[in-house]
């Protein structure tokens, strides 16, 4: 059987949903971050599938920018988590529900 691009799109959809549900049900901020990475990866996968399907390499160039944004997001996000952890003794979303130091 041949694997068409729709297979990749469906797989990306499932991974994206798992990531989205993970963000909603987990309370550890680090794991929530990993779930966001999952969602970004699912979108990257669909970008590449479309690039292949449409025979246009610009989709792959866009994945490049997603990677850069993801790296910047992780750097800043982890710095924020470290800052939160220094003020409160936990790293769960409940620890920052007051949104003040």
Partner 1 sequence: MTAVIFFVFAALALAGALGVVLARNPVHSALFLVVTLVSVAVFFVQQQAHLLAAVQVIVYAGAIVVLFLFVIMLLGVDRQESLHDPIAHQRTAAVALGVIVLAEVLFLAGHRWATGQHATGRFVLRGGNLALGTNVVRVARVLFTDFLWPFEITAGLLVIAVVGSVVLARRSGQPVEILDADLADQVVDDGAEAAP
Round to whole Å and give the CA distance between 49 and 56: 10
We find the least distance from the C-beta atom of residue 73 to partner 1, in angstroms, to be 8
Nearer to partner 1, 10 or 99 (CB): 10
Selection from 2, 15, 79, 91 nearest residue 46 by Cα: 15
What is the spatial distance between Cα 64 and Cα 54, in angstroms, rounded to a whole number?
Answer: 18
Phi-psi region of 2 (alpha: psi -120 to 50; beta: other; left: phi over 0): beta
In the complex, least distance from residue 28 CB atom to partner 1, rounded to whole angstroms? 5
CA distance 55 to 12: 19
Examine residue 2 and tell whether it contacts partner 1 (CB under 8 A): yes
Task: Provide, rounded to whole angstroms, the least separation between the CB of residue 42 and partner 1.
Answer: 8
* 25 vs 99 by CB, closer to partner 1: 25
Which 5-34 positions form the footprint of partner 1 (CB under 8 A)? 5-22, 24-28, 30-31, 33-34
Q: Under rule CB under 8 A, which residues in 35-64 are in contact with partner 1?
A: 35, 37-38, 41, 44-46, 48-58, 60-61, 63-64
């Amino acid at each position: 059987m041949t694997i068409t691009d729709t297979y990749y799109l469906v797989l990306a959809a499932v991974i994206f949903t798992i990531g989205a549900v993970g963000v909603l049900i987990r309370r550890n901020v680090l794991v929530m971050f990993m779930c966001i990475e999952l969602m970004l990866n699912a979108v990257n996968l669909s970008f590449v599938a479309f690039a292949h399907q449409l025979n246009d390499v610009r989709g792959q160039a866009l994945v490049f920018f997603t990677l850069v944004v993801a790296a910047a997001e992780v750097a800043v996000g982890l710095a924020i988590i470290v800052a939160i952890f220094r003020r409160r003794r936990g790293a769960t979303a409940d620890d920052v529900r007051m949104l003040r130091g």
